[in-house]
Amino acid sequence: MKEQLMKMLEDRKEEIIQIRRYLHENPELSFQEVNTSKYIEAFYQGKDVKVQTNVGGGHGIIVTITGGKPGKTIGLRADFDALPIFEETDVPFKSKNPGVMHACAHDGHTAYLMILADCLIQLKDEIPGTIKIIHQPAEEVPPGGAIGMIKSGLLDDLDHIFGIHLLPLGPAGVVGYNSGYVFPGRAYFKLKIQGTGGHGSSPHLANDAIVAGAHFVTAVQTVVSRRLNPFDMGVITIGSFDGKGTFNVIKDSVVLEGDVRAMTDQTRALIEQEIRRIVKGVEQEFNVTCELTYTPDYPPLYNDPEVTKMVAGFLQNANNKDITEVKVFPKMSPSEDFAHYAKKFPACFFYICCTPKGVEKPYFNHNPKFDIDEDALLVAAKAVGQVVCGYYDLD
Positions marked active-site: 81, 139
Burial (CB < 10 A; 0-12, 13-18, 19+), residue 361, is exposed
Looking only at Cα atoms, what is the longest distance across the chain?
82
- Residue closest to 62 by CA, chosen among 49, 76, 72, 52: 52
CA neighbor of 271 nearest in space, from 281, 262, 284: 262
Half-sphere exposure of 388 (CA within 13 A, CB side): 35
User: 3-state class of 134 per DSSP?
Assistant: strand
Q: Which helix (H) or strand (E) holds 9?
A: helix 2-11
Q: How far is CA 276 from the centre of its chain?
A: 27
Q: What are the DSSP calls for 329-365, one per residue?
A: -PPPSS--THHHHHHHS-EEEEEEEEEPTT-SSPPPT
Q: Is the peptide bond before 143 cis (omega within 30 degrees of 0)?
A: yes
- Return the amino acid letter for 167: L
Secondary structure in 3-state letters for 192-235: EEECECEECCCHHHCECHHHHHHHHHHHHCHHHHHCCCCCCCEE
- Separation in Å, CA 346 to CA 103, 130, 304, 385: 29, 16, 6, 18
